[in-house]
Amino acid sequence: MPAVTETIETVQAVTEGGYKWGFETDIEMEFAPKGLNEDIVRFISKKKNEPAWLLEWRLKAFAMWQKMEEPRWAAVTYSPIDYQDSHYYAAPKAGPKSLDEVDPELLKTYAKLGIPLKEQAILAGVEGAGESPSDSGRMPIAVDAVFDSVSVATTFKHRLEKDGIIFCSISEAVQEHPELVRQYLGSVVPQGDNYFAALNSAVFTDGSFVYIPRGVRCPMELSTYFRINAKSTGQFERTLIIADAGSHVSYLEGCTAPMRDENQLHAAVVELVAMDDATIKYSTVQNWYPGDAEGRGGIYNFVTKRGACRGARSKISWTQVETGSAITWKYPSCILQGDDSVGEFYSVAITNNRQQADTGTKMFHIGRNTRSTIVSKGISAGRGQNTYRGLVKISPKAHGARNFTQCDSLLIGDQCGAHTVPYIENRCMSAKVEHEATTSRIAEDQLFYCRQRGLPEEEAVGMIVNGFAREVLKELPMEFAVEAQKLLQISLEGSVG
Amino acid sequence: MLKIENLHAAVDGKPILKGLSLEIAPGEVHAIMGPNGSGKSTLSYVLAGREGYEVTEGSATFAGQDLLAMEPEERAVLGVFLAFQAPVELPGVGNANFLRTALNALRRAKGEAELDAMQFLKLARTRMKTLGMTDEMLKRSVNVGFSGGEKKRNEMLQMSMLQPRLALLDETDSGLDIDALKLVADAVNALRGPDFSALVITHYQRLLTHIVPDRVHVLAGGVIVRSGGPELAQELEASGYAGVQDGTPSKRSFDGSPVAA
Ligand SMILES: Nc1ncnc2c1ncn2[C@@H]1O[C@H](COP(=O)(O)OP(=O)(O)O)[C@@H](O)[C@H]1O
Ligand SMILES: [Mg+2]
């Protein structure tokens, strides 16, 4: 059964309110000592048996990070983070070498997460298992699962290898394909790009790696499930996707975390590279623990995502559904270098209770006739604060560049906030930039109409909100769109009545 | 049956219904006519439980249950259906999705099995055919960009799918051509039976030649000022509401606007 089917069932099975992924898995873990210094960076690199160049790369990043200041320009407030009071490496002790060796608790976790349990054998790395299409008859989905600091398993690897596609954890890629990693790592988001990217570069532990060869259309959705489980740990994953000329790939990431009173830091870096005529579609369903109704606990989701459209006619499309995290600070961006390249950003961000989101995108138009589309749907409820922050920058040589931006905000209740901060820097006469923005509330007559037809109030709100977000949701791979719709409704529980 | 006694209701503190009483027995269809602003829509909203329509006195029960104590969705589960005078637009919400969600919400509340997408589609297509609607209407957002007539038909589609026990039709005939009017009447008549009651709000006698009511009431100034059989509708259409006004007869045409002397 594909991951998504079980995920949907997981969501559907739950009827009561609250965060449904807040369970904690009690398995034996190996931790690095708390704190952050050069020795920790060396410890991580050693654990991963990394080549010397990568250790050097990490240490350089660490040195940069130490000289940097935490950014404060986002419209979010939180108490200072003590970077020394956290573990930077946490891994399940039982390595998933064979099914017998897999800690049953870990498997239970994946069952709860909706990762296809039928593929347990694959998750455990048993050779040849699960390489036939799933019996549901649907398109299989290859899954990489990252549990705290390590990737525990990747499914459908061998099937993908037939097309020359590499889909594995970044740690594995460092060992097996060092030349690719060395060529592209940090080529889109350099170590010193920003405070959190520098931190990630120093201490990243795992993440996914994808390489699609020339002219290959990836035959299935690739997806990664990230899970923070251990206490007092940060998660610093690093994802690198390279689509060679004429290739095509659709990738989806999902994430959840246990409910805890403490705030946990998640500082990921995602780099995408698209060559001539290549297309990368990157979708995120972000459902980290948002904290409780009073704002205790929850994940700080400080993430740098950027794609480079290096080749002519290449295309990178970001779609994100951000429902979780106490704080989201995230601007998936596109560098449109290749002539006629295309960047897209479709976003739904929900903030309920005390959640804060400052999210948006940056579109850098460098090549000729580059085009970008930005559709942002912000939904604020409770005391949630939702900011769209975007930059459209058009360089003098980007003749014929075009951007269209649409930012819509929906307010539920009167204690939440929605803010739109669009920056436009256009230095090219022949470029065209359009911006539209609206702010609205769920109308009383819409709610009444739905309820008159028999929908309970929360279901009615969910329906109206999903309608509001439809332009974005329809960009998700179809199976995930269903999951995302349910998530939107669940995220708004308690926001009405 | 629907039993309304001495109903008083206010909007924004302004009294609109001022002691309205009405009984509709199971299996009966009643019509309400009356000038604009007399409180017809207000009555339908109060019965359906719209926020802001405050009941200050009186009672309304259906099938022995106190309607006024229930949430709007509970009334829907009980079988109350309101065909809106101005159906509401839901941007981005697919018509099929909306209809199926509503149908399944009612079925769930009644402990019935939900319909899957295929079962739903089959049923919806049958009903749409009789209403002269095309499949394409299912794909569009609820009421968005619908013509006036399409909106009214869509209300009737919902009604025929949800199978209410009490239908409140608020000027469903307004703005419809004669063919569409007949389809609306057919949809209502198809539901008629011993376990179905309806309150049909209209300005025009012509709807009532297709949905023949058991009783006709005239609402004016927040109370029922006159009741009679189907012939009352014809009389009103001929003479307007003059003489039926709440104690203060004034010359008004049937849409409520003053008639030049
Ligand atoms: N939401 C509202 N706010 C203020 N007044 C209202 C509102 N709705 C209705 N009214 C007033 O209540 C009276 C009755 O309106 P309505 O029930 O719509 O009449 P009808 O349907 O018979 O034309 C009118 O005077 C109208 O102006
Ligand atoms: Mg009216």
How big is chain B by its Cα radius of gyration, in Å?
18
- pLDDT given for residue A26 in this prediction: 60
Residue A6: is its pLDDT beyond 50?
Answer: no
Residue A329: is its pLDDT beyond 50?
Answer: yes
Q: At residue B142, what are phi and psi to the nearest 5 degrees?
A: -50, 115
Residue A274: is its pLDDT beyond 90?
Answer: yes
In contact, B202 and B234? CB cutoff 8 Å: no
pLDDT band at A98 (very low <50, low <70, confident <90, very high): very low
pLDDT band at A129 (very low <50, low <70, confident <90, very high): very low
Segment B94-103 mean pLDDT: 94
**Which stretch of A34-38, A196-200, A213-217, B166-170 has the lowest confidence by average pLDDT?**
A34-38
Residue A115: is its pLDDT beyond 70?
Answer: no
**Which stretch of A139-153, A256-270, A288-302, B54-68 has the lowest confidence by average pLDDT?**
A139-153
Residue A108: is its pLDDT beyond 70?
Answer: no
Question: What is the whole-number distance in angstroms between the Cα of residue B39 and the centre of ligand 1?
Answer: 6
Residue A97: is its pLDDT beyond 60?
Answer: no
Beta bridge partners of A481: none
Segment B39-43 mean pLDDT: 96
Closest CA of chain A from B76, distance in Å: 5
Residues B48, B34: Cα–Cα separation, whole Å: 20
Residue A14: is its pLDDT beyond 90?
Answer: no
The CATH code for residues B2-90+163-254 is: 3.40.50.300
**B109, A454: Cβ pair inside 8 Å?**
yes
> What would the two tokens of residue A419 be?
């803010």
Residues B61, B1: Cα–Cα separation, whole Å: 8
**Which stretch of A48-57, A69-78, A182-191, A194-203 has the lowest confidence by average pLDDT?**
A69-78
Nearest CA in chain B to A471: B92
- pLDDT given for residue A436 in this prediction: 93
Taking only the tens place, the pLDDT of each residue in A432-450 is 999 999 998 888 999 999 9
Segment A220-231 mean pLDDT: 74
- pLDDT given for residue B242 in this prediction: 67
- pLDDT given for residue A488 in this prediction: 79
B50 touches chain A (CB under 8 A): yes
- pLDDT given for residue A344 in this prediction: 97
Residue A331: is its pLDDT beyond 60?
Answer: yes
A401 CB-contact burial (10 Å; exposed 0-12 / middle 13-18 / buried 19+): buried
**A455, B48: Cβ pair inside 8 Å?**
no
Residue B255: is its pLDDT beyond 50?
Answer: no
- pLDDT given for residue A198 in this prediction: 97
Angle between helices B148-162 and B95-109 (to 10 degrees): 30
Distance from chain centroid for Cα A88 = 20
Between positions 377 and 416 of A, the ones with CB within 8 A of B are none
pLDDT band at A396 (very low <50, low <70, confident <90, very high): very high
**A454, B84: Cβ pair inside 8 Å?**
no
Pair type for strands B53-62 and B2-11: antiparallel
By the CB criterion, residues less than 5 angstroms from ion ligand 2 are: B 40-41, 85
- pLDDT given for residue A1 in this prediction: 31
What strand order describes the sheet that includes B223-228? B80-83, B166-170, B197-201, B29-33, B215-220, B223-228
Segment A159-171 mean pLDDT: 91
Q: What is the 3-state secondary structure (H, E, C) of chain A?
A: CCHHHHHHHHHHHCCCCCCCCCCCCCCCEEECCCCCCHHHHHHHHHHCCCCHHHHHHHHHHHHHHHHCCCCCCCCCCCCCCCCCCCECCEEECCCCCCHHHCCHHHHHHHHHHCCCHHHHHHHCCCCCCCCCCCCCCCCCEEEEEEECCEEEEECCHHHHHCCCCEEEEHHHHHHHCHHHHHHHCCCCCCCCCCHHHHHHHHHCCECEEEEECCCCECCCEEEEEEECCCCCECECEEEEEEECCCCEEEEEEEEECCCCCCEEEECCEEEEEECCCCEEEEEEEECCCCCCCCCCCEEEEEEEEEEEECCCCCEEEEEEEECCCCEEEECCEEEECCCCCEEEEEEEEEECCCCEEEEEEEEEECCCCCEEEEEEEEEECCCCEEEEEEEEEECCCCCCCEEEEEEEEEECCCCCEEEEEEEEEECCCCCEEEEEEEEEECCHHHHHHHHHCCCCHHHHHHHHHHHHCHHHHCCCCHHHHHHHHHHHHHHCCCCCC
B222 touches chain A (CB under 8 A): no
Question: What is the whole-number distance in angstroms between the Cα of residue B173 and the centre of ligand 2?
Answer: 12
Residues A333, A237: Cα–Cα separation, whole Å: 18
Averaged confidence pLDDT in chain A? 82
Taking only the tens place, the pLDDT of each residue in A348-392 is 998 888 888 899 999 999 999 999 999 999 999 888 889 999 999
**Which stretch of A53-67, A150-164, B93-107 has the lowest confidence by average pLDDT?**
A150-164
Of the candidates B238, B176, A306, which has an alpha carbon nearest to the alpha carbon of residue B188? B176
- pLDDT given for residue B257 in this prediction: 46
Residues of A in contact with B72 (CB under 8 A): 448, 451-452
Q: What percent of chain B has pLDDT over 70?
A: 92
A287 CB-contact burial (10 Å; exposed 0-12 / middle 13-18 / buried 19+): buried
Residues A311, A327: Cα–Cα separation, whole Å: 34
Q: What percent of chain B has pLDDT over 90?
A: 78
Q: How many alpha carbons lie under 13 Å from residue B207 in its C-beta half-sphere?
A: 30
Q: Is B68 in the pocket of ligand 1 (CB under 6 A)?
A: no
**A453, B98: Cβ pair inside 8 Å?**
yes
pLDDT band at A109 (very low <50, low <70, confident <90, very high): low
Residue B27: is its pLDDT beyond 90?
Answer: yes
Q: How many residues does chain B have?
A: 261
Residue A209: is its pLDDT beyond 80?
Answer: yes
Residues B84, B154: Cα–Cα separation, whole Å: 10
Say which residue the tokens 């986002």 belong to.
A74
Residue A105: is its pLDDT beyond 80?
Answer: no
Residues A453, B73: Cα–Cα separation, whole Å: 7
> What would the two tokens of residue A46 be?
């050693």
- pLDDT given for residue A336 in this prediction: 98
Mark A296-305 as b/e (b = at least 16 C-beta within 10 Å).
Answer: ebbbbbbbbb
Q: What percent of chain A has pLDDT over 70?
A: 78
Q: At residue A453, what are phi and psi to the nearest 5 degrees?
A: -85, 0
> What would the two tokens of residue A470 be?
């439809």
Say which residue the tokens 């404060």 belong to.
A72
The question of ipTM being above 0.90 is answered as: yes
Closest CA of chain A from B223, distance in Å: 25
Segment A249-266 mean pLDDT: 77
Question: What is the whole-number distance in angstroms between the Cα of residue B241 and the centre of ligand 2?
Answer: 16
Averaged confidence pLDDT in chain B? 90
Q: What percent of chain A has pLDDT over 90?
A: 49
Segment B194-221 mean pLDDT: 94
Residue A110: is its pLDDT beyond 60?
Answer: no
- pLDDT given for residue A425 in this prediction: 95
Residue A102: is its pLDDT beyond 70?
Answer: no
Among the partner-chain residues A444, A452, A463, the one whose CB lies closest to the CB of B98 is: A463
Residues of A in contact with B88 (CB under 8 A): 443, 445-446, 448-449
